[in-house]
C-alpha cells in the first residue's frame, strides 16, 4: 500500500497511462501548430484536434462546433460568464449565481459587479441545494445569465439542473453550468439537461492539466460571446491562442475511458464512500455529513468533526492525502464558504475534511483511512477544550 493514501481526486487525478500513450505522438511525430494551414504538419495537428473536439461533443450530447478548447475550467468559467455578460451589455446586465459556487464562478461575477452589472448570489439549504422558487423569483427581464454548478466540488451535492434550466428557458435566460466535478462521473447531456454553456476540464478525469473546454450552444438559441483573450481569432474567434494539441487529444481519450467504465466505477466508488462514512460515523460522536445524501456524486464525502481543529486534523492524518475544501482555496485560512453558506458554524466549517475517492482506491485503503481518522479525532478531542461530551 502506497502512503500517503490519495483521497483528493476532486483536486486532481493522476494521468491514466492510456491517456499518456495517446498523447505521446503529439510531442514528436505530430508536433505541428493546428493553426498552420499551409503544410502537412499543421494539417495533421488540426485533424487530431478536430477528432478530439468531435469526441468531447459526442460525450456530452453536443455538436462538434459547440466545443471551444481552453486552458481549463477556470478559463471556461470566465469566458462563459464574462463573454455572455459583455455580449449583452446595455440590454441585460443582471447575473444570478449561487453562494456555493467555485471561486472561478464567484470571482468573475464579482468582477463584473465592479463594472456595474447587478448580481444576485442565491443562498442554499442545509444540504447545499438551491430553492427553485427563490431562483425563479430572482429572475428579471434584465437577467442575462444564471450560473449554477452541476456538482459541488467540496460536498458533492448535485443541483436540479434540468429544473433550473426550465425556469431559465421560460424567461429567455441562458444557463451556464460548471460541470467540472460531474463530467465523467455521472451522465451529462447538455440538451437533456437544457444547459446553454458548460465548463469542464481534463485533469479531473485522469487527463492532463492545462486543458479544458467550454460548451457553447449554437442552436436554439445560438449564443454569442465576447472573447476575453485577443490575438489571432482561434476557436471560431472565441478563444485566441495556440491550441494545446496533446492536451486536447489527452482530454478526449480520458473522457472516452471515463464514460466506458462510468457505470461500474461510479457504483464501486459509491460503495467505498459509504463504507468510509459508516466506518467513521458509527465510531465517533459529533460527526456531521455535509451535503445531500440522496443527490451527490459517487466519490465525494465531506465530514465535520465537532471539537476538532481541522488544520490539526489534516496535519495528524499522515496516512492520507485529503483536503479541507477546494484545492484553489487551500491556502486561505478562512472557513469554507461552501459550508458557511450551508449554515454550518465557523467552528464546524473549520473542522471539515473532504474525502474524494478515485480509481486507485481500494477497500483496504478505506479501512486504513477510517482507522486513522477515528484515532486522530479521538486524540485531538482528548486534549481539546472545544470538546465536551
Tens of pLDDT, residue by residue over 151-189, are: 999 999 999 999 999 999 999 999 999 999 999 999 999
Please provide the CATH number assigned to the domain covering 5-12+262-382. 3.90.1150.10
Q: Which three cell numbers stand for residue 79?
A: 469566458
Interatomic CA distance for residues 49 and 56, integer angstroms: 11
Tens digit of each residue's pLDDT (9 = 90 or more) over 308-349? 988 899 999 999 999 986 445 455 668 999 999 999 999 999
Tell me what the mean pLDDT of segment 113-124 comes to.
Answer: 98
Q: Are 117 and 85 in contact (CB under 8 A)?
A: yes
pTM: 0.95
Ranges for all domains in the chain classified under CATH 3.40.640.10: 17-259
Tell me what the mean pLDDT of segment 137-154 comes to.
Answer: 98
Average pLDDT value for the chain: 95
Interatomic CA distance for residues 57 and 62, integer angstroms: 5
Question: How many other CB atoms sit within 10 Å of the CB of residue 372?
Answer: 17
Question: How many other CB atoms sit within 10 Å of the CB of residue 388?
Answer: 9
Report how far Cα 284 is from the mean position of its chain's Cα atoms: 30
Say how many CA atoms lie within 13 Å of 93 toward its Cβ. Answer: 10
Torsion angles phi and psi, residue 86, rounded to 5: -70, -30
Question: Which region, left, alpha or beta, applies to residue 219 given φ > 0 means left and ψ of -120 to 50 means alpha?
Answer: beta
Interatomic CA distance for residues 90 and 99, integer angstroms: 26
- pLDDT of 114: 97
Ranges for all domains in the chain classified under CATH 3.90.1150.10: 5-12+262-382
- pLDDT of 328: 53
Q: Is the link from the previous residue into 221 a cis peptide, with omega within 30 of 0?
A: yes
Tell me what the mean pLDDT of segment 230-256 comes to.
Answer: 94
Confidence bin at 278 (pLDDT 50/70/90): very high
Tell me what the mean pLDDT of segment 62-79 comes to.
Answer: 98
- pLDDT of 305: 96
Residue 278 designated active-site? no
Confidence bin at 250 (pLDDT 50/70/90): very high
- pLDDT of 384: 83
Q: Are 84 and 174 in contact (CB under 8 A)?
A: yes
DSSP 3-state of 351: coil
CATH class for the region spanning 17-259: alpha beta
Q: Are 195 and 216 in contact (CB under 8 A)?
A: no
Q: Which three cell numbers stand for residue 126?
A: 442545509
Q: Are 147 and 176 in contact (CB under 8 A)?
A: yes
Percent of the chain with pLDDT over 90: 92
pLDDT reading at 262 higher than 90: yes
- For every residue of 44-63, DSSP letters joined together read HHHHHHHHHHHHHHHHHT--
Amino acid at each position: 500500500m502506497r502512503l500517503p493514501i490519495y483521497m483528493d481526486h476532486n483536486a486532481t487525478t493522476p494521468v491514466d497511462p492510456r491517456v499518456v500513450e495517446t498523447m505521446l505522438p503529439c510531442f514528436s511525430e505530430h508536433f505541428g501548430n493546428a493553426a498552420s494551414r499551409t503544410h502537412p504538419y499543421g494539417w495533421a495537428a488540426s485533424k487530431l484536434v478536430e477528432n478530439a473536439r468531435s469526441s468531447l461533443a459526442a460525450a456530452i450530447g453536443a455538436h462538434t462546433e459547440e466545443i471551444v478548447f481552453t486552458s481549463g475550467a477556470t478559463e471556461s468559467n470566465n469566458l462563459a460568464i464574462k463573454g455572455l455578460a459583455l455580449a449583452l451589455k446595455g440590454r441585460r446586465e443582471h447575473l444570478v449565481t449561487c453562494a456555493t459556487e467555485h471561486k472561478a464562478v464567484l470571482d468573475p461575477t464579482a468582477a463584473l459587479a465592479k463594472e456595474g452589472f447587478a448580481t444576485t448570489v442565491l443562498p442554499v439549504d442545509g444540504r447545499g441545494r438551491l430553492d427553485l422558487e427563490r431562483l425563479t423569483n430572482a429572475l428579471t427581464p434584465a437577467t442575462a445569465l444564471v450560473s449554477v454548478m452541476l456538482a459541488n466540488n467540496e460536498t458533492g451535492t448535485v443541483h436540479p439542473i434540468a429544473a433550473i434550466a426550465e425556469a431559465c428557458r421560460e424567461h429567455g435566460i441562458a444557463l451556464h453550468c460548471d460541470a467540472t466535478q460531474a463530467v465523467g462521473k455521472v451522465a451529462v447531456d447538455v440538451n437533456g439537461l437544457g444547459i446553454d454553456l458548460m465548463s469542464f476540464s481534463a485533469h479531473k478525469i485522469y487527463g492532463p492539466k492545462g486543458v479544458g473546454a467550454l460548451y457553447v450552444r449554437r442552436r436554439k438559441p445560438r449564443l454569442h460571446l465576447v472573447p476575453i483573450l485577443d490575438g489571432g481569432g482561434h476557436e471560431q474567434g472565441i478563444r485566441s491562442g495556440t491550441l494545446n494539441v496533446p492536451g486536447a487529444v489527452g482530454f478526449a481519450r480520458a473522457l472516452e475511458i471515463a464514460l466506458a467504465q462510468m457505470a461500474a466505477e461510479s457504483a464501486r466508488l459509491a460503495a467505498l464512500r459509504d463504507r468510509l462514512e459508516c466506518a467513521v460515523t458509527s465510531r465517533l460522536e459529533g460527526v456531521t455529513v455535509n451535503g445531500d445524501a440522496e443527490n451527490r456524486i459517487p466519490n465525494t464525502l465531506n465530514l465535520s468533526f465537532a471539537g476538532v481543529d481541522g488544520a490539526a486534523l489534516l496535519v495528524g492524518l499522515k496516512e492520507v492525502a485529503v483536503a479541507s475544501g477546494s484545492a484553489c482555496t487551500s491556502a486561505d485560512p478562512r472557513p469554507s464558504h461552501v459550508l458557511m453558506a450551508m449554515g454550518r458554524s465557523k467552528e464546524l466549517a473549520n473542522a471539515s475534511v473532504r474525502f474524494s475517492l478515485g480509481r486507485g482506491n481500494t477497500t483496504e485503503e478505506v479501512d486504513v483511512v477510517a482507522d486513522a481518522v477515528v484515532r486522530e479525532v479521538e486524540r485531538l478531542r482528548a486534549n481539546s477544550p472545544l470538546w465536551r461530551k
